[in-house]
Amino acid sequence: MGSVRYLPRLIPLNNDIIHFDNEDINTSPDSVFVHGNVLSAEVITVNYDEEKKNVEWHYALRLSALVDGTFRVEIDEAEPLYPRYRSMVALDGEPKGDVLKLISNENGKLTLKNSQGHKVIITAEPLKFEFLDKNGEPAVVLNDNAQLFVEPLKVRNGDGEEDIEGSLAENFKSHHDSRPRGNEAVSIDVAFPDADQAYGIPEHTDGFHLKTTTSGEPYRLYNLDVFEYELDSRMAIYGSIPVMYAHGPKRSVGVFWHNSAETWIDVVNYGEGNVVSSLVNLVTGGQKRRVDARFMSESGVVDIFVLMGDAPFDVYRQYSTLTGVTPLPPKFSLAYHQSRWNYVDEADVRSVDEGFDSHDIPLDVIWLDIEYTDNRKYFTWHPIKFAHPAEMVGNLTAKGRKMVVIIDPHIKREAGYFFHEDCTEQGLYIKNKDGNDYEGWCWPGSSSYPDFHNPAAFKYFAERYRFENFPGTNKDVHIWNDMNEPSVFNGPEITMPKDNRHYKPSQDGQDGLASFWEHRHIHNEYGVWHIMATHQGMLDRSDGQFRPFILSRAVYSGTQRYAAVWTGDNMAEWGFLLASISMCLSLASAGVSFCGSDVGGFFKYPEAELMTRWYQAAAFQPFMRAHSHIETKRREPWLYDATTTSRLRDAVRRRYALLDLWYTLFYEHTLDRVPVMRPLLTHYPKEEQTYTIDDTYLLGDKLLIRPVVEPGVTSVKVYLPGRESHTVWYDVDSFQRHKANGYFTQEVTIAKIPVYQRGGSIIPRKERVRRSSALMEDDPYTLVVTLDINNTAAGTLYIDDGETYDFKSNKFIYAKITYEQTAMKYIITNSGNYPTRSWLERIVIAGIKSPPKSAKLIQDGKSTALQMTIHRGNDVLVVRKPAALMAKAWEIQFSY
């Protein structure tokens, strides 16, 4: 067996299989038992050499039934030499158990069942797990292809440089990996019967749905800072989320491979044209619907969650129940962000701030990249260029704006720098393979990296954010955690050597290899530790009062609980604009809803058309930040020609008009755990054409967005789903009504953003233009009602103070809004309240064929007659200034 890095397709040892010892199951009641929600059993590998069974190795198997249709399979060595690493940050607490009932145990088959009616059949020899949906059909099968594998830890002789098998240490370019523990890889294969497509396992650039990998590289998950990363590639980039979904007309299911080490994933989609037909026949018996996958990681244990679905909604919820959701973000963070590497000094920040005002473009946040620091020492300010940070921040906050500054994990090794001296003295840095402080090269030059596994380092880092420790910051200064893959310029693949050492709590009898974790074990979760420490620090600095905003580049399961993410150092090219959609869709389905790309592209310069289209697309993506490389031409919106500037202004204003929709969607995400930005198949799971669409998506279940991502086009093809359910879609600009019927041709000008509101929905808007979102707080609402074929519609609205945790003590409004022909109602569903001064400015009802003759508002027992205008050309009725207060329930009655 070779190294994991170079031989992703591990070949099992000849004659080795993994299975239950059949006799043991029957004769020894100790070897398999079900207790509560857990089945425990011993698994052995057997060598059949010379017609004789030789037991080779003992493993411990646990199968758990978890709440909400989820199972977990864990396989570890029965008695490992020392503990194997289990990812520590992916799960949002210990998963809650469901009931697991043993139904039968005969002929080497165990049948078990959870409370929802999902069955598991475990075949003993060879070992196989079949997970059946509620109809009793196999939905997920583990080890159908006999790729289950746990390489046992073995006693090493000598100094760790030579191996029993002679292939232990490894060289990559000039880098040497001592691999002190030897081989410790784990692997399993998963089959998804009836699946048309698989998706997930971000972060990659080859589109939303996964491609067959037999003739090419597998998908690789290993967080890396890739310079000028490529499109249409399965190469590893900044993020690694090992959750995969499989979808077909029958059901949606998923698996979550819980592992933080380098991971490779092979995929075979038997429905794909290029999969050899003999293989299709062999595996699926001619059935063209099936996807197989194989997960393999360099270390850890086999720990896989099976998400039984059965709708897309369900699998998203099941995954987010395990790993957590994005908590309600501070409202400003959903608005427009302006960044550049670098705004050079305080005067520059001031002029950008003023530029947005003089060009009447809303702006919420100005960002500072690494040059704001004193020679790239984090938690310091440049003594000349940023000599008055408090005053600078004050200038911004006076207009309701915020600032975000960057804090990377690399720490400059410079005598006299408090951070470095403290970490050195207190032993808080990651160690190299010899146990000394690891030194790598990054932005500041020679750098070391805090070892967040060490509680003292975590605490030290978090405390740096206290206002007294970071003078010039206040509650309105938020944090950007970049370079946290971690990026090491002179390291193997621009990251940290795998044999670096991380802290492990000292326990009895642990010394030598048992006394530390290697970087290889924890690599993909390092970034989460970084943002966790930041998150803790930001909570503590305001005594838990204000919601932190953090942006992270590294991504792993669990990132979503602490930070927003972006797609890293992209390029000012049309292909990267298109990729921003599929990359964020993939991340969103993997739990990370708060996603965006560098608007305009990081490298190179976007000409006017590309810049315009990027602003228009980003206006409808969750995180909207313009950012650019230090060597590129300046590109604040007013630096383009006046017409382009007005297009960019228009895109940003559209964003602000819909901020309350975004905010409501993010609130609802915390309740239903479904992505904010959704693939079409989420709501149209039986419509097969939607399965491969990744240039179009839904916001909630209300808006369909198909940004123009092609140069020089006068029309685009837009897919409108929902033909079977007679869905109608309204162009949000013209209120033109389209019946859902697959693709249609939308004519576009440079000003057009193809966006459609689903008939049957109600969307809140704030249409007054202010300088920042904070200044819109009291502004009135416009409700846009688009009618379905039954002339009804419904929507929701969430309102709170936008920045504190007071909503946890019920200081918010979550209202349900319904429209029927006779009445429109605004009902506050929660028992608390929020004293908003906002009021109802206007109601726009689209698709109204027979308008009412009169309308009256009823609020607080008072009745007021309302003015209405009907626009015959597009069947739009506008109700003028109902002026209802949004802090209380109201009703509008219509008479015909």
Partner 1 sequence: LSDVPRPRGVSLSKASLYSPSKDFTCFDGTNTIPFSYVNDDYCDCFDGSDEPGTSACLNSVFHCTNAGHRPQNIPSSRVNDGICDCCDGTDEYAVPDTCSNTCDELGREARAQAQQLAELHKAGNSLRLELIERGNIKRSEMGEQLAQLEKDKIEALKIKEEKEALKSDIEAKENEALKVYREAEEKEKERKAELEKEELLKQATEQFNKYDSDNDGLLSVNEIRVVNVFDKNKDGEVDQEEIQYFFGDNENVDKDTFVSSVWSLLKPLLMMEEGMFRPEQDDQEEHDEELPHEGEQHEEEQHERDQEGEDETEDIEQHDLNIDDQLNDQTKTYDDETKRLMDEASEARRLYNDAERAVREIESNIRTIQQNLEKDYGLNQEYATMDGECLEHEDKEYVYRLCLFDRVTQKSRNGGGEVGLGNWGEWGGEGDSKYSIMKYTNGVTCWNGPARMTTVHITCGLETKLTSVTEPYRCEYKIDLTSPAACDDSHFIQQQQKKESHDEL
Closest distance of CB 622 from partner 1, Å: 26
Helices (H) and strands (E) in the chain, counts: 13, 55
Closest distance of CB 635 from partner 1, Å: 10
For partner 1, give the closer residue by CB, 478 or 604: 604
Q: Figure out which of the listed residues 5, 752, 770, 825 binds partner 1, where binding follows CB under 8 A.
A: 770
For partner 1, give the closer residue by CB, 583 or 651: 651
For partner 1, give the closer residue by CB, 742 or 835: 835
CA dist., res. 661 & res. 796, Å (int): 9
State in Å, rounded, how far the first CA of the chain is from the last one: 79
Asked if residue 388 binds partner 1 (CB under 8 A), the reply is no
Asked if residue 344 binds partner 1 (CB under 8 A), the reply is yes
Pattern 836-875, partner 1, x by CB under 8 A? -----xx---------------------------------
- Tell me which H or E stretch contains 131: strand 128-132
For partner 1, give the closer residue by CB, 573 or 767: 767
Closest distance of CB 634 from partner 1, Å: 4
Asked if residue 767 binds partner 1 (CB under 8 A), the reply is yes
Query: With CB under 8 A, what is the number of residues at the site for partner 1?
Result: 27
The residues near 875 (Cβ < 8 Å, ≥ 6 apart) are 735, 737, 846, 847, 848, 849
- Tell me which stretch binds partner 1 (CB under 8 A): 113-121, 537-545, 745-753, 775-783: 775-783
Closest distance of CB 351 from partner 1, Å: 7
CA dist., res. 587 & res. 239, Å (int): 9
Asked if residue 631 binds partner 1 (CB under 8 A), the reply is yes
Query: With contact defined as beta carbons under 8 Å apart, do 625 and 599 qualify?
Result: yes
- Tell me which stretch binds partner 1 (CB under 8 A): 207-215, 239-247, 296-304, 631-639: 631-639
Pattern 400-419, partner 1, x by CB under 8 A? x-------------------
CA dist., res. 376 & res. 388, Å (int): 17
Strands 840-846 and 781-786: parallel
- Tell me which stretch binds partner 1 (CB under 8 A): 61-69, 447-455, 630-638, 665-673: 630-638
CA dist., res. 94 & res. 114, Å (int): 18
Asked if residue 459 binds partner 1 (CB under 8 A), the reply is no
For partner 1, give the closer residue by CB, 258 or 401: 401
For partner 1, give the closer residue by CB, 633 or 726: 633
Q: Facing residues of 441 across strands?
A: 446
Asked if residue 771 binds partner 1 (CB under 8 A), the reply is yes
Distances (CA, A) of 430 to 238, 426, 501, 518, 686: 20, 12, 6, 10, 50
- Tell me which stretch binds partner 1 (CB under 8 A): 144-152, 345-353, 746-754, 793-801: 345-353
CA dist., res. 224 & res. 236, Å (int): 6
For partner 1, give the closer residue by CB, 708 or 866: 866
- Tell me which stretch binds partner 1 (CB under 8 A): 66-74, 129-137, 518-526, 761-769: 761-769
Asked if residue 686 binds partner 1 (CB under 8 A), the reply is no
Closest distance of CB 869 from partner 1, Å: 10
Asked if residue 769 binds partner 1 (CB under 8 A), the reply is yes
731 has catalytic annotation: no
Asked if residue 399 binds partner 1 (CB under 8 A), the reply is yes
CA dist., res. 526 & res. 248, Å (int): 35
Q: Figure out which of the listed residues 779, 788, 800, 803 binds partner 1, where binding follows CB under 8 A.
A: 779
Closest distance of CB 400 from partner 1, Å: 8
For partner 1, give the closer residue by CB, 571 or 708: 571
CA dist., res. 889 & res. 241, Å (int): 43
Q: Figure out which of the listed residues 163, 348, 414, 463 binds partner 1, where binding follows CB under 8 A.
A: 348
Closest distance of CB 773 from partner 1, Å: 11
For partner 1, give the closer residue by CB, 187 or 782: 782
Q: Is the N-terminal amide bond of 711 cis, ω within 30° of 0?
A: no
Asked if residue 630 binds partner 1 (CB under 8 A), the reply is yes
Question: Strands, DSSP E only, in 258-413?
Answer: 263-269, 290-297, 302-307, 336-338, 365-368, 402-406, 411-412
Asked if residue 816 binds partner 1 (CB under 8 A), the reply is no
Q: Which long-range contacts (CB under 8 A, 24 or more apart) does 676-680 make?
A: 676/588, 676/593, 676/594, 676/622, 676/700, 677/584, 677/585, 677/588, 677/593, 677/595, 677/621, 677/622, 678/585, 678/588, 678/589, 679/199, 679/208, 679/312, 679/585, 679/589, 680/704, 680/719, 680/721
- Tell me which stretch binds partner 1 (CB under 8 A): 75-83, 396-404, 682-690, 850-858: 396-404
- Tell me which H or E stretch contains 110: strand 109-113
CA quadruple 540, 546, 552, 558: dihedral, nearest 10: 80
- Tell me which stretch binds partner 1 (CB under 8 A): 128-136, 203-211, 544-552, 770-778: 770-778
Helix (H, G, I), strand (E, B) or coil at 798: strand
Q: Facing residues of 303 across strands?
A: 74
Q: Figure out which of the listed residues 116, 881, 885, 891 binds partner 1, where binding follows CB under 8 A.
A: 881
Selection from 707, 726, 605, 691 nearest residue 655 by Cα: 707
Q: Which of 194, 353, 569, 694 is catalytic?
A: 569
Helix (H, G, I), strand (E, B) or coil at 894: strand
Asked if residue 53 binds partner 1 (CB under 8 A), the reply is no
- Tell me which stretch binds partner 1 (CB under 8 A): 186-194, 347-355, 493-501, 814-822: 347-355
CA dist., res. 588 & res. 564, Å (int): 11
Q: Figure out which of the listed residues 50, 166, 384, 749 binds partner 1, where binding follows CB under 8 A.
A: 384
Q: Which of 189, 292, 314, 482 is catalytic?
A: 482
- C-alpha 474: how far from chain center: 28
Q: Figure out which of the listed residues 11, 279, 347, 390 binds partner 1, where binding follows CB under 8 A.
A: 347
Say how many CA atoms lie within 13 Å of 253 toward its Cβ: 30
Distances (CA, A) of 409 to 377, 488, 853: 11, 10, 65
Asked if residue 633 binds partner 1 (CB under 8 A), the reply is yes
- Tell me which stretch binds partner 1 (CB under 8 A): 366-374, 392-400, 581-589, 821-829: 392-400
For partner 1, give the closer residue by CB, 225 or 841: 841
Asked if residue 768 binds partner 1 (CB under 8 A), the reply is yes
Asked if residue 775 binds partner 1 (CB under 8 A), the reply is yes
Asked if residue 282 binds partner 1 (CB under 8 A), the reply is no
CA dist., res. 774 & res. 803, Å (int): 10
Q: Figure out which of the listed residues 31, 515, 632, 818 binds partner 1, where binding follows CB under 8 A.
A: 632
Closest distance of CB 768 from partner 1, Å: 5
92 has catalytic annotation: no
- Tell me which H or E stretch contains 284: helix 277-284
Asked if residue 74 binds partner 1 (CB under 8 A), the reply is no
Burial class (CB in 10 A: 0-12, 13-18, 19+), 254: buried
Closest distance of CB 410 from partner 1, Å: 24
Query: With contact defined as beta carbons under 8 Å apart, do 450 and 461 qualify?
Result: yes
Selection from 612, 551, 508, 615 nearest residue 239 by Cα: 551
Greatest pairwise CA separation for the chain in angstroms = 94
Closest distance of CB 67 from partner 1, Å: 46
Asked if residue 800 binds partner 1 (CB under 8 A), the reply is no
* Residues taking part in catalysis: 482, 569
- Interface with partner 1 by CB under 8 A: which residues? 344, 347-348, 351, 360, 384, 398-400, 630-634, 767-771, 775, 778-780, 841-842, 880-881
